[in-house]
A and B are shown apart, each in its own frame.
Chain A
Amino acid sequence: MKSRKWLVQVILIAAVLLSACGQAGGGSQEPVVLKVGWTGAPDTLNPAYAFLTESFTIFDLTYSALTTQAVSGEYVGSLAKEWTHSDDGLTWTFTLKDNITWHNGEPFTASDVAWTINAIIADPDGWAAVSNYTANFVEAAAPDDKTVVITLDTPVGNMEYRLSWIYIVYPPDFEVFTTPEDLQNFTNDTPTGTGPFKVTSFDKDLGVIVMDAYADYFDGAAKIDQITFQTFDNSDAMIQALKVGDIDMVIDVPQSAFATVEGFENVKAVKTAGSYFSELIINSVPEDFDPAPNKNPALDDPQVRLAIAHAINKQDLVDAVLQNLGVVGDTIVPPQLGGGFWHNPNIQDIPFDLSKANAVLEQAGYVMGADGVREKDGVRLEFRLQFPSDNPLYPRVADMLTAWFKEAGIKTTPESVDPDSLYSQMTPAGNYDLVIWGWGPDPDPDFILSVMTSDQFVDGGWSDSGYMNPEYDQLYLDQQVTVDKAARQAIIWKMQEMVFNDRPYIVLWYEDLLRAYRSDRFTGFIESPLGIEIHHSMLQVEPVQ
């Protein structure tokens, strides 16, 4: 009996298989699916509490904001058709486009916009991911279905940029949460948005997101029917999948594989200058800060910092670690922001020169010890060198830095640390010496500049270096309210110079943005520094006939 049952099962499976094959073969009206591979995954699809770039990639496709950055770098209207602001810059009035509907078919109104903005203003803790964009906002109102009025307490120099990050959510999804914790824990696996694609499933375990094109998208529906995002644990496997055609597009091709991908048939590898940078963080928390930092005091010596800067061969890092897919970095505002407008071009980078590094330390009184480690007044130049464990590049960077530092009489011990632990160890505990980490700055320099301000060095804040400079803090506030672009540029150049000279960060490189897609299947991608996965590009993509 038993064995017969087993046989029946086998037959059943075979039948299922055969029918599956049959289905795959027939039917000419197959939906057009663009299969995207990446090595990351969104942390959550809840815009209130999403921090990873991957989440924002999905939000960009499924939600809409009042404004959006065009591929040219300019800000244009998205939900908003047009807008004006009062002469004092404190009142902004937006008129919405027509025919906007939620993915569930409900009509979209100005009050939804007002609700979202007011929710963020009211609960900055719950909406931690976006609350910095509503700084200086007093209130949003919806006098009618098509008009939104936002009032500010001080003028804001980058209003359009800020609004491009505030994704308008469907109020019924979010009204139910009464505490910040409840809101943060909401996973929002099937968001209701107004964007060109609608998430139909998000399986975190399998790392799969399926998005259907939303036919009623207000700027015109996409030309493809579906996008799937598949998370790969291993980039080799992802590249292989692209090669054999299992996937159609790859976000974040690893540097070490880019040359290989360029050689694939029917695959277009896309490289654009990017703004992601990596830096060496030097613990800059003042000794009198509460809680007191735990660091090697030698790091407070500007000469030690200068020597460290001399002992880093940035070009080698770019060549070896980035496989030459990037450029040497110097300031915290990458050249790509605002088409190069904000980057300070006058900064002269510290050259790689080990004998200079040794000379600087020698002069500063650090004497070479018998074990090859320099020492002054009992303080040895021996530092922890930590990096987040989720980055594939940093072990190599740490390894190379350690080798160079050794030549200068500086001993570093690399250690890979889980990013969450690393963060909690740094901010605000200040328990570290040197850390390698990186940033993906926003298109406007405001965010990356805020990272260096004193008041960000609190639990949950963005500062990790503990850099505290009242003059810098004041300049940061000034640039926020300076509406004149040239004046704002001058302030921002000054700020970059301060960070460069004080060296809480030694910026190592700016990474190129690396993408690839099957050119035999899809066409129409817009290749820009924003990546080919942004919604502007996805709206243009169509299958190759």
Chain B
Amino acid sequence: MNRRDYLLRKIFFSLVTLAVVVVLNFLLFRVLPGDPVRAVIGRNVRISADTQQALREQFGLDRPVFPDQFLTALGQWARGNLGVSWSLRKPVSEVLLAKLGNTLLLIGLGQILSIILGVALGLLAGWKRKTAVDVGALTFSLIAWAIPTFWLGIILLAAGSTWLGLPTGGIVSPSNVGKPLYTVLPDVTHHLILPTLTLTILYMGEYMLIMRSSIMEVLGEDYILTAKAKGMSHWQVLRKHALKNAMLPIVTLIAINLGFTVSGAIYVETVFSYDGLGKMFQTALVKQDYPLLQGAFLLLAVSVILANFLADILYTYLDPRVKAS
């Protein structure tokens, strides 16, 4: 009942957001000067005027922009056809899919670590408010907030490669390129240390801050006093009563953060030449490969919208209070 209403609302909202993204993507694409045929077939290939005209008709570029072309584009995107990359001369969707896994690996690791560490530290800081732990944690998160992602990456790259001999880029050593990642795990791990560390430091601060204020708010609630009155120790109260309530905002934050995580991935992958979507986004930007850029944008935006929606669903399972309100 309530949950269904809530979910319907969320589905509706996700669809609206999706529509905005799709329309935006379409419009930006059309705003670009130049011949859209090139976007479809790639730039370097010289083709005859006849072939161009045929393609024009095939892709409906001779028909009005709205609604015909828009619907055509929509249909193609829905089928996963995102055009052909100018620089790689390959279907954009193919290129993107190949990089998705690497990015998920990096983002996933970074998120998991930063959530675990950030939540633990935030819990500690909020619980032991105004102690050295708290002040230290706050200082850390403030600085983490103010550090530009890419610069932290550069610093860690310089420090890690100089003093620890860690690899400065890529996802595997050149000798292992092309092999399935799980067969060269130690090498992959070695390469992942610095980029993951960068992402972890960056997001940890934020999770910590949220967890800290969240736990402080929860600890001010009457049910915490009730739990204490029941004779529970601080630790028991924290674990059984405070944690779940305080974690709820984190779930929402993780979802919202995905957008920022993607931004982080663009910087970190650029600095560490990590072969993922973020790096590819940056390359597409430099090479002005618009089909690739916009395909990547579409994929990233849709993934984040989807993840937000999943987080909303997850939320209904975690928080029994979710109401339509």
Q: Do chains A and B touch in the complex (CB under 8 A)?
A: yes
Interface residue ranges, A against B (CB under 8 Å): 13, 16-17, 20, 33, 35, 37, 43, 125, 128, 180-181, 184-185, 201, 203-208, 228, 230, 232-234, 236-237, 240-241, 244, 246-247, 389-390, 416-418, 420-421, 460
Q: A234, B178: Cβ atoms under 8 Å?
A: no
Residue B1 at the A interface, CB < 8 A? no
Closest CB-CB distance, A425 to chain B, in whole Å?
10
Q: Of B47, B168, B279, which contacts A240 at CB under 8 A? A: B168
Chain A residues with Cβ below 8 Å from B173 are: 241, 246
Closest to B284 in A: A418
A206 to B183, CA, bound (A): 17
Q: A205-B98, A233-B273, A390-B287 are in contact. Are A244 and B169 (CB under 8 A)?
A: no
Q: A181-B51, A206-B178 are in contact. Are A237 and B168 (CB under 8 A)?
A: yes
Closest CB-CB distance, B218 to chain A, in whole Å?
31
Chain A residues with Cβ below 8 Å from B273 are: 232-234, 237
Besides A237-B167, A241-B173, 16 other CB < 8 A contacts? A17-B186, A20-B184, A128-B46, A205-B98, A228-B175, A234-B168, A236-B169, A237-B273, A241-B167, A241-B170, A246-B175, A389-B287, A390-B286, A390-B287, A420-B43, A421-B288
Q: A246, B183: Cβ atoms under 8 Å?
A: no
Q: B182, A16: Cβ atoms under 8 Å?
A: yes
Closest to B34 in A: A421
Residue B177 at the A interface, CB < 8 A? yes
Chain A residues with Cβ below 8 Å from B165 are: 244
Q: Of B45, B167, B174, B184, which contacts A230 at CB under 8 A? A: B174
Which parts of B39-70 form the interface with A (CB within 8 Å)? 43-48, 51
Chain B residues with Cβ below 8 Å from A206 are: 177-178, 275
A210 to B41, CA, bound (A): 28
Q: Of B43, B169, B184, which contacts A233 at CB under 8 A? A: B169
Query: What are 5 A-B interface contacts by the 8 Å CB criterion?
Result: A181-B46, A205-B88, A207-B177, A237-B273, A418-B288
**In the complex, per-residue mask of B182-208: 1 if CB is within 8 Å of any chain A CB, else 0:** 111110000000000000000000000
Closest 10 CB pairs of A and B: A237-B169, A418-B288, A234-B273, A233-B273, A230-B174, A240-B168, A420-B43, A246-B173, A237-B273, A237-B168
Q: B175, A35: Cβ atoms under 8 Å?
A: yes
Chain A residues with Cβ below 8 Å from B283 are: 233
Closest CB-CB distance, B58 to chain A, in whole Å?
15
Closest CB-CB distance, A127 to chain B, in whole Å?
12
Q: Which label, helix, strand, loop or mixed, suits the secondary structure of the A interface?
A: mixed
Closest CB-CB distance, B24 to chain A, in whole Å?
22
Closest to A416 in B: B286
Q: A184-B46, A237-B273 are in contact. Are A232 and B177 (CB under 8 A)?
A: no
Q: A205-B95, A206-B178 are in contact. Are A244 and B289 (CB under 8 A)?
A: no
Closest CB-CB distance, B81 to chain A, in whole Å?
18
Closest to A13 in B: B182
Residue B127 at the A interface, CB < 8 A? no
Residue B267 at the A interface, CB < 8 A? no
Q: A240, B169: Cβ atoms under 8 Å?
A: yes
Closest to B45 in A: A184
Q: B286, A420: Cβ atoms under 8 Å?
A: no
Chain A residues with Cβ below 8 Å from B281 are: none
**In the complex, per-residue mask of B76-110: 1 if CB is within 8 Å of any chain A CB, else 0:** 00000000001010100001001000000000000
Closest to A240 in B: B168
Closest to B287 in A: A418
Q: Of A17, A204, A234, A417, which contacts B88 at CB under 8 A? A: A204
Closest CB-CB distance, A395 to chain B, in whole Å?
11
Closest to A236 in B: B168
Closest CB-CB distance, A194 to chain B, in whole Å?
27
Q: Of B90, B157, B183, B279, which contacts A16 at CB under 8 A? A: B183
Q: A20-B184, A234-B273 are in contact. Are A417 and B169 (CB under 8 A)?
A: no
Q: Of A35, A181, A184, A389, which contacts B174 at CB under 8 A? A: A35
Closest CB-CB distance, A211 to chain B, in whole Å?
14
Chain B residues with Cβ below 8 Å from A37 are: 174
Closest CB-CB distance, B101 to chain A, in whole Å?
12
Q: A181, B95: Cβ atoms under 8 Å?
A: no
A390 to B288, CA, bound (A): 10
Chain B residues with Cβ below 8 Å from A237 are: 167-170, 272-273
Q: Of B174, B182, B184, which contacts A247 at CB under 8 A? A: B174
Which parts of B265-320 form the interface with A (CB within 8 Å)? 272-273, 275, 279, 283, 286-289
Residue B161 at the A interface, CB < 8 A? yes
A389 to B175, CA, bound (A): 30
A43 to B86, CA, bound (A): 12
Closest CB-CB distance, A247 to chain B, in whole Å?
5
Chain B residues with Cβ below 8 Å from A180 are: 46
A244 to B167, CA, bound (A): 9
A93 to B310, CA, bound (A): 74
Chain B residues with Cβ below 8 Å from A13 are: 182, 185
Chain A residues with Cβ below 8 Å from B182 are: 13, 16
Chain B residues with Cβ below 8 Å from A207 are: 177
Chain A residues with Cβ below 8 Å from B90 are: 204-205
Closest CB-CB distance, A209 to chain B, in whole Å?
11
Chain A residues with Cβ below 8 Å from B168 are: 234, 236-237, 240
A488 to B177, CA, bound (A): 49
Q: A181-B48, A205-B95, A389-B287 are in contact. Are A230 and B177 (CB under 8 A)?
A: yes
A232 to B88, CA, bound (A): 15
